[in-house]
Amino acid sequence: MKGIIVALSISDRRGIPKRNVETVQLLEGYGIEGDAHAGNWHRQVSILALESIEKMMKTTGLKLRPGIFAENITTKNLDTSKLKIGDRITIGEAELEVTQIGKECHKPCAIFRKVGDCIMPKEGIFARVVKGGNIKVGDECIVHRS
């Protein structure tokens, strides 16, 4: 299974939409350099499919962009609904391991209040950085089954 990165997004606070950047540095065992979600835990990097965002735009009529749901990596043509815990994703020299599918949403977050819903609890994927490296918009994502 393959996809492509269409957006990379970071923020210095949790629970808010992230700003788009062209490139990020993945740090082994930590996450994305400069992102609020980085740290020594299992949800270092969040991934959401562009198709999920587009589906939400269609149902709500809102104009939404990558990063609005606080995801770090927005992919295209990568069916994230088929990912399983333990799967690995290679992006350039970097490698991520899927650690969680969806999440419990704590109170209505800023994203929920702004957009009216949050798709991360249902469709977000979370991973830890197994091997660090620079990644950029346009890089290919290759899934390796666990």
Q: What is the CATH number of the domain that holds 68?
A: 2.40.33.20
Give one word for 13, left, alpha or beta, with left for phi > 0 and alpha for psi -120 to 50: beta
Cα separation, 73 vs 109, in Å, equals 19
- In whole angstroms, how large is the CA radius of gyration of the chain? 14
| Percent over 90 (pLDDT), the chain | 66
Count of alpha carbons within 13 Å of 58, Cβ hemisphere only? 6
Q: Residue 24's domain spans which residues?
A: 2-144
Domain count, the chain: 1
**Is the pLDDT reported for residue 27 higher than 80?**
yes
The pLDDT tens digits of the residues spanning 29-47 come to: 999 999 999 999 999 999 9
What pLDDT was estimated at residue 39? Answer: 95
The pTM of this model reads: 0.90
Q: Containing H/E element for 88?
A: strand 88-91
Q: Containing H/E element for 123?
A: helix 120-123
The mean pLDDT of the chain is 90
What pLDDT was estimated at residue 115? Answer: 66
**Is the pLDDT reported for residue 62 higher than 90?**
no
**Is the pLDDT reported for residue 122 higher than 70?**
yes
Token pair, residue 7, equals 């957006």
